[in-house]
Structure 1
Amino acid sequence: MPTTLRFRQGSGRLCLDFARTLRLRGTPGAVEELPDAEALAAWVRQCGPCPAGPGDVAPGLVRAAQELREAVHRLIAAARTGTAPDARTRALVNEAAAHPVPVPALAASGGLAWHAGDPVRATLSLVARDALDLVTSPAVGRVRDCAGTACGALFLDTSRPGTRRWCSMGTCGNRAKKAALRRRAAG
């Protein structure tokens, strides 16, 4: 039985959750969470609206997804500093956003079902469109770097005062608070 992959969510935006698939970004221990078709299909199943399997990942799409992820990260970084992204970054995100997105339909059960001829590309299109929406909105001013010393994740700070420090209080925030408690107890 194959292992079930679990990806981090909760950043506040789909594009930021996608950018998190390079875990520990900017550290020597960075981990690629989308190394193959199985992992990419698992991310689409977990984070996107369409069901997808490894057979839905066209040749070359894993590399294209990784390139899109890095372009999304560069696009957001540029927007946060008020600089224009490079032409390649813009082209990669714009090209991904141009693909058809998943289409909703009311299922016989009364629930919503999502369909796409190419569920992986359709979900990547949603990621790209979300990134474009984020960087052209005031919300980009609320994108934060996690204060976790080895995290590297971005998140959207939706707290009222805008002072959230960690991507997740349950992981990075909890680790930081336990470390502070240990330092106080030792000192």
Structure 2
Amino acid sequence: MEEITAPPRFRQGSGRLCLDYLRTLRYRGTPRATEELADPAALMAWVRQCGPAVEGPRSAPGPGPADVLAARALREAAYTLVTAAVAAGAAVAPAPAVRARLNRAAAADVPVPHLAPDGAVRHRAEDPVRAVLALVARDALDLVASPALLPRVHACASPTCGALFLDHSRPGTRRWCSMDTCGNQSKKSSFRSAGRR
């Protein structure tokens, strides 16, 4: 019997871990804006789906409500930093609170790789959630300090999406965060509009 797996809960494929994390406020800037980091279970699910597979001590407590609030605040700080750098085309000096939040998160211990007895490489961290969020913060800092990449960070052309993505296409003219979702929806909409004429 074939095992049925659930579809991924969170959107990925933006081209950078930090940009995937920004997508946890889905449909940002639209009336349909939806908070995907709604509770500790959702935060843990994002870490498991989008970060490296991280093992923690069996006795380590999972994230709590305060961790969720801190994770959302980190996301908004990263969003502020990335969008300001993209608009300026270069790294910018963010507000002290934004800088402090990102620096604090980036300073946390990151997952450490180790070789398991079966030969597989796994990652360990005392606090898997904090460790993966440190990777997110470091990725955001690296992205805004990369002048060659900033011009390739685009907002999805779909007026109902709000996601940012890193355009890896050769000409750098990609319009949608995903051709499978936003791109196809736009083409269907255009086709229906043309059919009504």
Hey, what does 1:34 align to over in structure 2?
37
CA distance in 2, matches of 1:88, 1:141: 26
Q: Relative to 1, partners in 2 of residues 1:179 and 1:51: Cα closer, same or farther, differing over 3 Å?
A: farther
CA distance in 2, matches of 1:5, 1:174: 19
Q: CA deviation at 1:84?
A: 2.7
Q: CA deviation at 1:112?
A: 1.2
| Paired residues for 1:63-142 under 5 Å | 63-82=69-88, 83-138=92-147, 139-142=149-152
Hey, what does 2:19 align to over in structure 1?
16
CA distance in 2, matches of 1:59, 1:184: 49
- Code of the residue aligned with 1:80 in structure 2: it is V
Q: CA deviation at 1:32?
A: 0.3
The answer to whether the 8 A contact 2:18-2:137 is kept is yes
CA distance in 2, matches of 1:5, 1:156: 20
Q: Relative to 1, partners in 2 of residues 1:51 and 1:140: Cα closer, same or farther, differing over 3 Å?
A: farther
CA distance in 2, matches of 1:4, 1:160: 30
Residue correspondences, number? 185
SS of aligned partner of 1:88: helix
The answer to whether the 8 A contact 1:68-1:92 is kept is yes
Indicate which of 147, 159, 164 corresponds to 1:149. 159
SS of aligned partner of 1:56: coil
Mean alpha-carbon deviation: is it higher for 62-71 or for 135-144? 135-144
Gaps of 5+ in 2: 1-5
Q: CA deviation at 1:51?
A: 5.0
Give the RMSD, CA atoms, in angstroms: 1.8
CA distance in 2, matches of 1:175, 1:4: 20
Hey, what does 1:46 align to over in structure 2?
49
Q: Percent identity?
A: 59
CA distance in 1, matches of 2:69, 2:13: 24
Superposition TM-score, scaled by structure 2 size = 0.89
SS of aligned partner of 2:165: strand
- Measured against aligned partners, the alpha-carbon deviations of 1:30-86 in whole angstroms (never above 9, x if no partner) come to 100001100000000000112579942145110000000000000001111224321
Q: Relative to 1, partners in 2 of residues 1:5 and 1:173: Cα closer, same or farther, differing over 3 Å?
A: closer
Gaps of 5+ in 1: none
- Code of the residue aligned with 1:112 in structure 2: it is V
Which stretches of structure 1, 4 residues or longer, exceed 6 Å deviation after superposition?
Answer: none
The answer to whether the 8 A contact 1:34-1:40 is kept is yes
SS of aligned partner of 1:114: strand
- Code of the residue aligned with 1:78 in structure 2: it is A
The answer to whether the 8 A contact 2:39-2:65 is kept is no
SS of aligned partner of 1:81: helix
CA distance in 2, matches of 1:51, 1:40: 16
